[in-house]
Amino acid sequence: MTPPQRRTRLRPADLLRLGMIGPRTRRTRSALSALGISLGIAAVIAVTGISSSNQAHLLARLDQLGSNLITVSPGKDAEQRPVPLPATAEKMLSGIAPVQQVTATGATEAEVYRNDLVPKEQTGGLSVLAARPNLLDVLHATLRSGQWLDRASERLPVTVLGDQAAERLGVTAPGERVWLGGQSYVVRGILAPDDLAPELGTAALVGWPQAVAHLGADGTAGTVYLRAHPERVPDVQAVAGATANPAAPGMVAVSRPSDLLTARGEAKGALTGLVLSLAGVALLVGGVGIANTMVVGVMERRGEIGLRRALGARGGQIAAQFLLEAVLMGFIGGVGGLVVGALAVYGYAVAQGWPVSVPLYTVVAGPSVSVLVAAVAGIYPALRAAGASPTDALRSA
């Protein structure tokens, strides 16, 4: 009686060596196959990375322009009279958790003229405001010339003029003098136009201590400017009125987030959708390339398949060999594509002056997805190789 034959089993190390036969013996074809998936993954990394870098640049610009800026100012009562903010408003608003920066301007009783010979009624529509030293930082405003108020100059008779104020007063450069609050003030700087706070364009700004001591300011904030976390702007807006004036929250005017906030959200969603769409197309192309290469590989290696089947290899072992070859090519291509894509993102972002941003999920998902796509693409060729008849395969070879 013939003893029963034992079923042969391949150890993982043996299976790995078999899987490397194709890539090792057909280096050119394997390299081209890996290159196909590598280009697909590189395209995914490049598209996501460049889009993410562009998105980071765009969102930073939108935030800089004021999508996260909130203005809190006095509201009006039933008789349309302004209701001043409480003296604690600025401090209370700075205590809101998502608020990142707070600054303010305050009203004064002073007027500004070119000199003491100008009639008092010819104010030119200009105002004199007390200003905090961090006003420019919070508003992201800039100076056209000169210097801003600092801790040393905020107690001195110096002023910074808005661009329109300087034009109306005939001031062309820092160092000139204007008549402000009944005395001569030195112009320390001139502001550049600022779309976020156009009211500063027609103002003469002086230091807070100087305004309180000599210009009739009462020390309370007339307008408070807040910079909030971009994702928490609506939350801050909802509580700003009650925080600034708990006794009469309806008497506080809280600016609505700029239309830039809506543009920020739309830009983020549009770019994300574009990235996902292009990434899907690139992966599909890479998968089709691997499937095509593996099918051709099965047809060319029918003799090898027939010989292995004749020597006792089971169909599952043949399928595992070809499937492993596809996975190895996918992994190699995925890692190569990750490196190439990351370098492309870095070079392009640096050339454009953008922040370099390669999403972490693409770094992890790139090789993983390439292996998955390669495995799916290799299933049909592997099953076709496993189902080949030994005699037919040897005859066709």
The domain spans of the chain are 12-62+264-396, 68-257
**Run of H or E including 70:** strand 69-76
What is the predicted pLDDT for the residue at 93? 95
Helices (H), 157-314: 163-169, 208-214, 233-244, 259-300, 302-310
What is the predicted pLDDT for the residue at 24? 65
pTM reported for the whole predicted model: 0.56
Which residue positions in the chain have pLDDT lower than 70?
1-27, 29-30, 33, 59, 61-66, 256-276, 278-280, 282-283, 285-287, 289-290, 293-294, 297-313, 385-386, 388-397
Contact assessment for residue 363 and residue 374, using Cβ atoms and an 8 Å cutoff:
no
What is the predicted pLDDT for the residue at 173? 94
Q: How far apart are the first and last CA of the chain?
A: 36
What is the predicted pLDDT for the residue at 154? 93
What is the predicted pLDDT for the residue at 64? 64
CA dihedral 99, 105, 107, 111 (to 10 degrees): -170
Dist. CA 225–CA 68, nearest whole Å: 10
What is the predicted pLDDT for the residue at 177? 96
Written as six digits, the tokens of 301 are 């290696």
CA dihedral 41, 43, 47, 52 (to 10 degrees): 40
Dist. CA 332–CA 221, nearest whole Å: 63
What is the predicted pLDDT for the residue at 187? 97
Which among 143, 69, 56 is positioned nearest to 100, based on CA atoms? Answer: 69
What is the predicted pLDDT for the residue at 268? 60
Going by the DSSP 8-state scheme, the letter that residue 212 receives in this structure is: H
For 26, 110, 115, 124, the CA distances from 119, given in Å and listed in that order, are 94, 14, 9, 11
